């Protein structure tokens, strides 16, 4: 799976420029609310503590930052990194009451931070959108402290045949739902295609290992509709 860096980042930026106003609503509709449960699962596996330094890459409208912050009594330091200025603005405005959050307009391939900075690196429904996954994973490894931990929540491959058939049928109607809610099919056609083309659980695990992480493992959510991968910087 290789993309011309500029082409993919332009396409992805265009996708999120179409959806930013209704992004949260569409997430609830499309996932039938499941994304909330998956994100809670992610936070309970991360188990962030007070004073931890957390980087939330592809932060979008800030769901993960908000949950991590709540889990730590708003006493962790969370850096939200997001390349789409409209998505970033929605998150920043929505969470302006949280003064432990910092918002940075940048991308996963090139993080403007020193090495060994963060205790946790989190990327939720973001890694599928990056143009260069190897570069992004190497950056994740670089900015984590030794002993720091990487977490990735992403759509994956359904492991039950019957559920997979139902899921594939459901996926076909998502662009039409997108047309009704955001007035455009394109972003949701991209969503379905990008999920389809993305790595399965085991291939993503190998990628994470190849880019320097140790003790990499994953957990399926809803039978593999999504999965959480994690690994350590030793
Ligand atoms: C599906 S949203 C996920 C938002 C949020 N993390 C969540 O779980 O709801 C994906 C986000 O990835 C961002 N993104 C796209 N390309 C990126 C890149 N190269 N580096 C970092 N983020 C990227 C998009 O702008 C978008 O806001």
Q: Which domains does the chain have, with CATH numbers?
A: 5-232 (3.40.50.150)
pLDDT of residue 33: 94
Question: For residue 193, what are its two tokens?
Answer: 């295609």
In this predicted model, what pLDDT tens digit does every residue of 176-227 receive, in sequence order?
999 998 888 999 999 999 999 999 999 999 999 999 999 999 999 999 999 9
Establish whether residue 82 lines the binding site of ligand 1, counting it when its CB lies within 6 angstroms of any ligand atom. Answer: yes
Establish whether residue 64 lines the binding site of ligand 1, counting it when its CB lies within 6 angstroms of any ligand atom. Answer: yes
Cα–Cα–Cα angle for 187, 93, 125, nearest 5°?
35
Provide the β-strand partners of residue 149: 120, 232
pLDDT of residue 181: 86
- 2 pLDDT band, cuts 50/70/90, is very low
Q: H helices within the chain, ranges in order?
A: 5-19, 23-30, 34-46, 63-71, 85-94, 133-143, 161-182, 186-197, 201-210
90 Cα to the center of ligand 1, angstroms? 13
Q: Tell whether the model's pLDDT for residue 96 goes beyond 90.
A: yes
Establish whether residue 83 lines the binding site of ligand 1, counting it when its CB lies within 6 angstroms of any ligand atom. Answer: yes
Report the C-alpha gap between 190 and 19 in whole angstroms.
12
182 Cα to the center of ligand 1, angstroms? 18
Least confident of 37-41, 81-85, 130-134, 181-185: 181-185
**pTM of the full structure:** 0.96
pLDDT of residue 1: 45
What phi, psi does 54 have (nearest 5°)?
-120, 135
């Amino acid at each position: 799976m290789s993309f011309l860096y500029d082409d993919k980042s332009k396409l992805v930026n265009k996708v999120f420029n179409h959806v930013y106003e209704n992004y949260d609503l569409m997430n609830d509709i499309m996932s039938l609310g499941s994304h909330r449960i998956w994100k809670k699962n992610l936070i309970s596996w991360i188990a962030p503590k007070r004073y931890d330094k957390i980087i939330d890459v592809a932060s979008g409208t800030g769901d993960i930052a908000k949950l991590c912050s709540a889990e730590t009594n708003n006493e962790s330091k969370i850096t939200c990194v997001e390349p789409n200025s409209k998505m970033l603005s929605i998150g920043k405005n929505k969470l302006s009451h949280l003064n432990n959050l910092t918002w940075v307009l940048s991308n996963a391939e090139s993080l403007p931070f020193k090495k060994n900075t963060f205790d946790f690196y989190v990327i939720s429904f973001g890694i599928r959108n990056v143009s260069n996954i190897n570069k992004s994973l190497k950056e994740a490894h670089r900015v984590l402290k030794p002993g720091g931990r990487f977490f990735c929540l992403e759509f994956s491959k359904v492991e039950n045949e019957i559920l997979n058939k139902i899921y594939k049928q459901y996926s076909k109607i998502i662009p039409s739902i997108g047309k009704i809610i955001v007035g455009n099919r394109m972003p949701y056609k991209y969503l379905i295609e990008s999920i389809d083309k993305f790595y399965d659980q085991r291939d993503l695990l190998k990628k994470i290992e190849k880019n320097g992480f140790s003790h990499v493992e994953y957990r399926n959510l809803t039978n593999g509709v999504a999965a959480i991968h994690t690994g350590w910087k030793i």
